[in-house]
Amino acid sequence: MSEQSPHRENSDVQSPHRELGLTDHEFELICEKMGREPNGVELAMFSLLWSEHCAYKHSRKLLKNLPTEGPRVVMGPGENAGAVDIGNGYSVAFKVESHNHPSAVEPFQGAATGVGGILRDVIALGARPIALLDSLRFGEPDTERTHYLVDGVVRGIGHYGNSMGIPTVGGEIYFEPPYEQNPLVNAMCVGLARTDEMVRAAAAGAGNKVVLFGSLTGRDGIGGASVLASAELDEGDDAKRPTVQIGDPFEESKLLECCQELLAEDLLVSLQDLGAAGLTSSAGEMASAGGTGIDIDVGLVPLREADMEPFEIMVSESQERMLAVVEPSKVDAVLALCTKWQTASAVIGEVTDSGTFRILKNGETVGEIEVEDLVDGCPLYDLEPEEPAEWTYPNRETIAADAAVLNIPESDRAIAVAIDGNGRRVACDPFQGTVEATLECAANLATVGAEPLGVTNCLNFGNPEKPGVAWQLGRAVEGLAAACRALEAPVVGGNVSLYNETPQGPIYPTPVVGMVGELPDPTRVAGRPWQDGDAIALIGPFDPSLAGSELEKQRGQLSKGLPAHEIAPIKDAISLVRDAVRTGAVRTATDVSDGGVVTALAELAISSGIGCEAGLDPVIARRECDPEDALFGEGPGGFILAGDKAELEKLGGQGVDFELIGQVTGNEVIAAAGESRVEILVDEARAAFESLEERIESDQAGLTH
């Protein structure tokens, strides 16, 4: 079903469905489908599965345009996470998701449970998590609210990941005023699984039992997906803290090991984690995926609080819980393994062939909804996009990592993972900015010799009911689709986070792209440090411009539009750099991104402790750009390579722009372009780079909102 996006009704008297985030039109449609008004249990369930967070009702039609198939894809969109084949019987599972609004309201638990949720998405496929990445956005680093949010978010991420022994291997962090009240906390998990032991989420087999295991069910997180995650933030959102879940990484550690053994023993038909909307979404989506019905008896659910109502049990978002479909003959073995791992478990229902989701309490029906109506019946809205005349946004600072490399001995190779996004450039040009973010991920993989296998994404935008945001979202998805097709990197899963907006305005449109790539030889990885005497080359169709650049930001400007770039020549440069790293022809490789060539040179000098001298007149001559553009301009397609001069020169003449621009030497970074010149001591550059940590430290962290 498709129709125009309705604007949310305003009324001094809030009806129950409005309080739960449903519009009048949606409530009328529910009554029409059911032939009656829903009772309290049913209304709560509809409000969650018809929320933006669960139904993607403003974005699902756009997402259908993304490429999702490829020869290495094992699991794609629709599963808990995506997975790609890396050979020798193994697959890598990965996904990125947001926990933006919970982190704005309660930063520690919001971030911690965001990590816990993305871990369970990967665990639910039968994979063991091996690494985390994060993409974070906050306001300016000097404000008290930023201190409070950074402190809580960083502690929450570290607490959960470290407690489970899963390292954070990469990520990025931006500081810009549009994220002051509405931070972005996007977490990505990568896991490893034997391909033949992976499991899907679809329920199957009428008569099979439904087993809930993990933590006890409590009242934490009730309404998180609808009341908190699917609406704009406002001044009164501190009152929504009870909708934020409470995480327990130690319980999740037991849950992980329990799931691994259950799957290794072939005891499960299907497996699903309980995240947003709790039992309602997990059971409903399992039934929908399998084309079955399902009965759940809330009287059988192990509870943390004995007096919980049926609707509370069905929509609780208590963490560290999993739902499994189990053949009757294997139920005792499943419960025994849960007992072994000291995790609560109970048979709470049964798969049926009715096509109906029935909720019972001690055998008595308290709710009954057709699965199709609940899961797939939500109206999908046509957006009303309109390109805005202008955007008024403030400024930013950023720290971003290149790709992280993980050795996978089981497959005799390594993988590389990267996560990238630049909301400011997307604000300038949603299509081109999203193309650039995708190419940036592929470029980061190339600098360590990796080739893309698959993509996950998190689309963070404002209110899609507003024409300007709708236009941004549509153009960004078009850009993501175009770049992924050109790179032959299928999108295997992701997340959409909308309504990232406060009374002060929307966030920058921020599509975050996560990418997994493969290295055939883990011993051939270009390191960041260069060595005294190395030659330096600039390679690729780099056409620097100050539009959307860090320098433009420092001047308080925001361009409307970015220079258009053909993807094919950039892809050729990515391939050439990747091959050069794999053959050992270069010692050091990094792409040119935020801050332009000078910043890339300074970052390499900081990591190596050795300076350089570079002349950018060849860039000016080839690109016909201004000296300032050559020094600080940004754009996709540029790489800085360092190593033996003779080896570097072999890369010239292969159809990709190539210039030798300097040499590694001394204790200064010196870059000249025409009559413009930049000189800075390496120690001074390092001190400036590291000063950001000091700027976000505060004795008042956690004490002010």
The answer to whether 53 is a known catalytic residue is: yes
**CA separation for the pair 614, 485 (Å, rounded):** 36
CA atoms within 13 A on the CB side of 121: 33
- What is the SS3 string spanning 206-257? CCCEEEEEECCECCCCCCHHHHHCCCCCCCCHHHHHHHCCCCCHHHHHHHHH
Give me the catalytic one of 99, 101, 147, 565. Answer: 99
238 contacts: CB under 8 Å, gap ≥ 6: 105, 705
Contact between 178 and 507 under an 8 Å Cβ cutoff? The reply is yes
Q: Which residues, including other chains, have CB under 8 Å from residue 72's CB and lie 6 or more apart?
A: 84, 85, 86, 453, 454
With b for 16 or more beta-carbon neighbours within 10 A and e for fewer, the 643-674 pattern comes to beeebbeebeeeebbbbbbbbbeeebbbbbbb
* C-beta contacts of 372-375 below 8 A and 24+ residues apart: 372/288, 373/30, 373/33, 373/34, 374/45, 374/46, 374/49, 374/280, 374/284, 375/49, 375/284, 375/285, 375/287, 375/288
Element containing residue 536 per DSSP (H, E): strand 535-539
Kindly give, in sequence order, each residue whose CB lies less than 8 Å from that of residue 657, ignoring residues fewer than 6 positions away. Answer: 539, 540, 541, 542, 573, 622
Q: Are 321 and 213 in contact (CB under 8 A)?
A: yes
Q: Which residues of 309-333 are buried (b: 16+ CB within 10 A; e: fewer)?
A: ebbbbbbbbbbbbbbbbbbeebbee
Catalytic: which of 7, 17, 25, 53?
53
Cα torsion 488, 489, 490, 493 to 10°: value is -170
Residue whose C-alpha is closest to residue 59's, from 429, 277, 382, 480: 382
CA–CA dist 231, 500 (Å, integer)? 8
Residue 558 and residue 546: Cα distance in Å, rounded? 10
CA–CA distance, 378 with 578 (Å, rounded to integer)? 45
705 is catalytic: no
By annotation, the residues acting in catalysis are 53, 99
